[in-house]
A = this chain, B = another copy of it.
């Protein structure tokens, strides 16, 4: 039984984390903090979905107080805020999972370029472990600071890792066309995410300028000799949750679907949360509300083209669920503990 704190509990990521942790048998949620309108408030008064599940109070952050009652802390904060808090917590010997982007990039200069501020705790960038269990499980075990991956990058890296690690595609010809549900923009996203602006609408945004792009490029480059550059175009879907990435690659040599699928199956054979589909394509409803990433693919042999589809729930495998998976690994719990989620039908 570990005692957990969540800083940023009033955002969607923090609230999902809380919801899932409430039924985790090895965890006691000991403290919640966030920037509050009122000094303190029952979290279930903010999220009616939690009514009857918890009486926990959320307070403005008193970091020393929280440190006293917790062993393990999740930062579900906006980018640029986490890096102000994480160093203190690590000094105080807490283990920390940061759901923001602050420790995801290993290069402080890249951070500065994309996030438009200087990184204030660069010394931790080396120490932080990129929390993608399918690739870095061993490092995660002993980490003090986890940089929980972004939602788009998780879908893209899991989709491409088997191909790149087997050197099957041209690493300079990758195109990523991603589509995300609205919750990806967060709970305080402003009037342009009003229902009336988003329903019955669809659009691309931040073409080649989304901060998740350098994150996926940095990670994908680890599989290759050269540096991976991707064309990344995110789009906004009129639905609440889920990401589906359609990824286009150019095969280095001819390959059949069956061969490539075998490679994917092998690559993920022991992974509890990656589902490789043989004869079907991933869809958002199949993974919404779960920690699964579904992957499917299609090859056009004459054109030597491969299309990979990767789908996950942006708030679970793309945020809170993956954070819990990381916590489970760090604490020696069963990796799937608290993540046995299913998705309603229909």
- Bound complex: CA A282 to CA B16 (Å): 20
A187 touches B194 (CB 8 A): yes
**A229 beta carbon closer than 8 Å to chain B:** yes
Which of A65-73, A88-96, A298-306 participates in binding chain B? A298-306
Contact of A202 among B275, B284, B289, B303 (CB under 8 A): B284
Contact of A237 among B237, B240, B246 (CB under 8 A): B237
Contact of A183 among B196, B198, B288 (CB under 8 A): B196
How far in angstroms is the closest Cβ of chain B from A71? 24
Which of A115-123, A141-149, A338-346 participates in binding chain B? A338-346
**A47 beta carbon closer than 8 Å to chain B:** yes
A200 touches B201 (CB 8 A): no
Chain B residues, CB < 8 A from A201? 239, 283-285, 288
Known: A229-B303, A346-B183. A194 touches B189 (CB 8 A): yes
Known: A22-B342, A345-B12. A200 touches B248 (CB 8 A): no
A288 touches B194 (CB 8 A): no
How far in angstroms is the closest Cβ of chain B from A118? 25
**Size of interface on A: residues with Cβ below 8 Å to B:** 79
B246 touches A204 (CB 8 A): yes
Chain B residues, CB < 8 A from A241? 196, 200, 344, 346
- Bound complex: CA A241 to CA B196 (Å): 8
Chain B residues, CB < 8 A from A204? 244, 246, 281, 307, 309
**A48 beta carbon closer than 8 Å to chain B:** yes
A83-111, CB < 8 A from B: none
- Bound complex: CA A120 to CA B229 (Å): 50
A215-243, CB < 8 A from B: 229, 231, 233, 235, 237-242
**A182 beta carbon closer than 8 Å to chain B:** yes
Chain B residues, CB < 8 A from A179? 179, 202, 235
Which of A49-57, A152-160, A323-331 participates in binding chain B? A49-57
Nearest B residue (CB) for A282 = B203
A238 touches B238 (CB 8 A): yes
Known: A196-B12, A199-B199, A344-B19. A49 touches B285 (CB 8 A): yes
Nearest B residue (CB) for A50 = B345
A233 touches B205 (CB 8 A): no
B283 touches A195 (CB 8 A): no
Nearest B residue (CB) for A289 = B344
B233 touches A307 (CB 8 A): yes
A19 touches B200 (CB 8 A): no
- Chain A residues with CB under 8 Å of chain B are 12, 15-16, 19, 22-23, 47-53, 175, 177, 179, 181-183, 187-191, 193-205, 207-208, 229, 231, 233, 235, 237-242, 244, 246, 248, 275, 277, 280-286, 288-289, 292, 294, 298, 300, 302-303, 305, 307, 309, 315, 340, 342-346
The 7 closest A-B pairs by CB, nearest first: A203-B283, A48-B286, A196-B346, A201-B285, A195-B198, A177-B177, A182-B195
Q: A51-B277, A188-B191, A204-B246 are in contact. List 8 more A-B contacts (CB 8 A).
A: A16-B344, A49-B286, A51-B286, A52-B292, A196-B240, A199-B199, A237-B237, A248-B248
Task: List 9 contacting pairs A-B, 8 Å CB cutoff, sorted by A.
Answer: A51-B277, A194-B194, A202-B237, A202-B284, A203-B282, A204-B244, A204-B281, A231-B303, A233-B307
